[in-house]
Amino acid sequence: MKRRCRSHAAVVILIALALLLSGCGTWGRLFGKSDPAASQPQALPESPRDRSPARVESPPPGAQEEAAQQPRGALTDRVVAVVNQEAITLMDLLETIQFLLQQSGGDIKPGEETKIRAQVLDQLIERRLQVQEAMKEKFTVADEEIKEMIDEMMKRTTAKSREEFEEVLKQQGLAMEAVRKGARDQLLAQKIIRRKVSARFSVTDQEVDAYFNENRGKLETGLPYHARHILLPPEPSDSEAGWEAARAAADEVWEKIRAGEPFEELAKRYSHGPSAAVGGDLGPLKRGELDPEFESHILPLNPGEYSAPIKTRLGYQIFKLESKELLSGEALNQARQQVRAVLQRDKFQNRLGAWMDEVRKKAIIEIRL
């Protein structure tokens, strides 16, 4: 019995390995690791929300007390979930978590053990459901497909040959047959997801344009610009009269600007800022470096334009935008590609979540954890 369960656990671990290889960001987020590919559409992203199975049976009375009295081997062989008559054991769950910890280099924070177990178990249940749906749809996996996936796994290890790879697996307690089974399940899941999820949505150019225009400021973060300002602070700063005097002075300077007097000369004569001597020049800046309170008034300007006097926490200020770099050419194309990837990822996650909800509602899932 233990031998069969350990072999099955190896298969579950390989499923976890396949999840990692497919670019899924779930495990890194669970264990506190950032995922550099998280901004890209993923083959198997995590569920967009927590979902409870529609048909779940409660653990039998006294199950916890009974488990506590069992020998360690019996405890790890204990079934923690049943998915349409397919069992997931505690050994499956614990070894999968351990494997993921080793792969991600992360750690479980104190007090989060229960949460992590529940999240990983939910992912294992979803994978079982996906494979079961693929089998219902009569999907098959060719030996060559399995070979290609195993070759990709081997490339991610230090093994230089199939023999060395098998030795690496052996050290982890895995047999090549278990690897093949895990690869097969991964490929089946990918195929059913392509049919039920990926093929059922698209991202239009109009959607990309709308998202781009709405988030242009964020996409342009880091692009350079050049601005000047004139600062007229209240004196004293805690008096209403001081603020009124600053406003009146700002209005006077503003009239001079509108009359055509050079901004730089007015900054030298009237500004109380540290850059007054250089005509209010704020120096080379990049979007996101200056206080957002100030940038919100500077960046909407076109080069050569001025802002009317603005009340800020420092006093009344007048800004002039000298120049700013905009997204164009290859940078613009890359930004649009990023936008399309974000929209694809969001639609994929939403569609995957909706589909998995449908599958769960039809399934019989018993949680015994």
| CA-based nearest residue to 193, from 131, 150, 145 | 131
Label each residue of 67-94 as H, E or C. Answer: HHCCCHHHHHCCEEEEECCEEEEHHHHH
Residue listed under structure tokens 């069969």: 4
Residue 213 placed within a domain: no
Tell me how many domains the chain contains: 2
In this structure, the number of other CB atoms found within 10 A of the CB of residue 258 comes to 10
Q: Which neighbouring-strand residues pair with 232? A: 316
The answer on 15 and 148 residing in a single domain is: yes
Kind and range of the H or E run holding 227: strand 224-232
Q: What is the CATH number of the domain that holds 312?
A: 3.10.50.40
What confidence score (pLDDT) does residue 103 get?
57
Torsion from C-alpha of 66, 72, 76, 82, nearest 10 degrees = -20
What confidence score (pLDDT) does residue 247 get?
96
What confidence score (pLDDT) does residue 241 get?
93
The answer on 119 and 58 residing in a single domain is: yes
| Distance in angstroms (rounded) separating the CA atoms of residues 136 and 159 | 36
The answer on 105 and 181 residing in a single domain is: yes
Residue 277 placed within a domain: yes
Two structure tokens written together for 184:
């097969």
The answer on 199 and 75 residing in a single domain is: yes
Range of the domain at 168: 2-203+339-367
Residue-by-residue pLDDT tens, the chain, 369 positions: 444 444 444 444 444 444 443 334 344 444 444 333 333 333 333 333 334 344 444 444 444 444 445 454 555 579 999 999 999 988 878 877 876 775 566 677 888 888 888 999 999 999 999 999 999 999 999 999 999 999 888 888 888 888 888 888 788 767 788 788 888 988 999 999 999 999 999 999 999 999 998 988 888 888 999 999 999 999 988 899 999 999 999 999 999 999 999 999 999 999 999 999 999 999 889 998 899 999 999 999 999 999 999 999 999 999 999 999 988 888 899 899 999 999 999 999 999 999 999 999 999 999 987
The answer on 312 and 348 residing in a single domain is: no
Residue 170 placed within a domain: yes
What confidence score (pLDDT) does residue 106 get?
67
What confidence score (pLDDT) does residue 107 get?
74
Kindly state the DSSP code that residue 277 receives in the 8-state scheme: G
The answer on 185 and 84 residing in a single domain is: yes
Kind and range of the H or E run holding 252: helix 240-258
Q: What is the CATH number of the domain that holds 10?
A: 1.10.4030.10
The answer on 170 and 71 residing in a single domain is: yes
Residue 147 placed within a domain: yes
Tell me whether the omega of the peptide bond preceding residue 45 falls within 30 degrees of 0, making it cis: no
| Collapsed DSSP state (helix, strand, coil) of residue 216 | helix
